[in-house]
Homo-oligomer: A and B are copies of this chain.
Amino acid sequence: MKLTPVAKMTLVDMAEGKVREAIVESGMKVGDVLPGELELAERLGVSRNVMREALSRLRMLGVLESRKRRGMVLKEPDLLDGLAKVIDLPVISKPVKQDLFELRLIIELGMAELVFDRKTDEVVAELEEIVAEEEKESGGGAVVAPEVEVDFHTQLFKMAGNGTLMRFQSLLGPFFDWKKQEGEIAKFHESGDGVTHRDIVEILKEGTKAEFLEAMQRHLRPHVEWINQKRCES
């Protein structure tokens, strides 16, 4: 349960909360029209300026949309828009960045079963092309350039077939300093038993689900060990 101290709540916070509550309790649906700003202000007993600010926040979250002649209409927000607006700010602390790095690893390990269940020849062929491109550039080792590294893993996220997940991965993309990280992670690569992207593609094509799960665990192990060490240092 998250409680905000009463003293820190502004009138705008409260008006915003009341409108959110009213939407939840009335069970309004996408396309339903909200009362006008003036009416809402009167019913909540706040000034029109306060009301405008509160509604502006809900518009930013993607919950409301102003439509000509119809007024404010309820819409389905993109769940991760709020996260997208804060994730790249320089105020995010190191422990939270570590949480996010870990979260990406957790998701990639956990989605392996779905990736395998939902693979199609077409997307596996795309993955194979990415690997061929990588091999041209790196010479076939386990450590590849960060840019192609990201392409490979983005394709795996695509294969899992979960839109919210793909959006989350794309938000993390520009967030990490991959180049610096891959350099640091390189020294843990022995613990990954050298499972390369090529190995992963081959297992997706010819192997079993159990083999794929194990290959992903091994492939990501250097990253797990790196983040565990980082956690201990801080």
Residues of A within 8 A of B (CB): 2, 12-13, 16, 20, 23-24, 27-30, 49, 52-53, 56-57, 60-63, 74-77, 79-93, 95-96, 99-100, 102-103, 105-111, 113-114, 117, 160, 162-165, 213, 217, 224, 228
Contacts and interface: CB of A to CB of B under 8 A. Distances in A.
A110 B105 contact: yes
B16 A90 contact: no
Given A56-B56, A80-B83, A106-B114, A163 B91 contact: no
Given A24-B88, A85-B61, A86-B82, A93 B110 contact: no
Quickly give the copy total for this chain. Answer: 2
Given A57-B57, A106-B165, A164-B103, A79 B83 contact: yes
* Among A87, A109, A228, residue most surrounded by chain B Cβ atoms (within 10 Å): A109
Contact of A108 (B2, B84, B110): B110
Nearest to A95: B163
A91 B31 CA distance: 9
Contacts of A28: 90-91
17 contacts: A30-B91, A53-B53, A63-B86, A63-B89, A76-B96, A77-B89, A79-B86, A80-B82, A82-B83, A82-B86, A102-B114, A103-B164, A106-B111, A107-B107, A107-B110, A108-B110, A110-B111
A62 B16 CA distance: 14
B79 A96 contact: yes
Given A82-B85, A96-B164, A102-B162, 10 more contacts: A12-B56, A53-B53, A56-B57, A79-B87, A82-B83, A83-B83, A103-B162, A106-B107, A106-B114, A109-B109
